[in-house]
Amino acid sequence: MKDKVALITGASSGIGWSTAKAFAAKGSKVVLAARREEELASLALEIQNDGGEATFIKTDVSSRQDVQNMVDHTIQTYGRLDYAINNAGIEGQFAPIVDFPDEQWEKVIDINLKGTFLCMKYQAKAMLQAGNGGAMVNVGSVNSFLGFAGGSAYATSKHGMIGLTSSVSAELAPQGIRVNIVCPGFIVTPMHHRVREVAGDERIEEFIEKVHQQRAGKPEEIASTIVFLCSDGASYITGATLTPDGGFTTTI
């Protein structure tokens, strides 16, 4: 992976932050994208101080222009795009369907689902133009196949990502571009802490007790899964859903 270029959205915290660090440790040049510019600058400096190469660009993935600028910045800076990690996402509001605000539904779908679509569209264009193949990894959730009360927008957006991933994989495989999705379970990130505040520690701990490994995961564990899917070791894996969840979804 040395001297390859990895673009990571949602890189300002959590899984995105850890994934950027993991690619940089492999010798990849990394492009950091998110809405929080100050955090991106901090991560870029950290990677550079560790001897890596990194650049960043403020990006709202629900904006077509922002996404196009993000991909253009990648090509202008490093001349290529090898790995695209579409991790940006929000949990949004949790509420009963009868009370769910329309604007909250639109916001979650725009960032989580439309945002992934826009990223893949412009990333694929760049990869196809270069003709060197590549790998994309989308970051879903166990809620890509499990709904929950009050989570209609979030679960719908994550369910949709599986269909998007498998469809685009079928399109791009003949051109040597692999497309997969990772669906993490309970991972200790800022989003996890926000959900705890809403649902309460007791409710979250009830779920974690159902995890076979009896614990929440670490962002670094998801990052290593993503790096593997982009590596030559995963050369025959495309259109797949990997679920690093400690066993949460394997039994009732």
Of 78, 83, 122, 154, the catalytic one is: 154
Strand partners of residue 219? none
Phi then psi dihedrals of residue 165, to 5 deg = -60, -50
Which strands make up the sheet holding 5-9, listed edge to edge? 54-58, 29-34, 5-9, 83-86, 134-139, 177-182, 241-242
With contact defined as beta carbons under 8 Å apart, do 87 and 72 qualify?
no
State how far the Cα of 11 lies from the Cα of 163, in Å rounded to an integer: 24
Closest by alpha carbon to 34, among 58, 56, 14, 6? Answer: 58
Active site residue 154: yes
Catalytic sites, residue numbers: 154
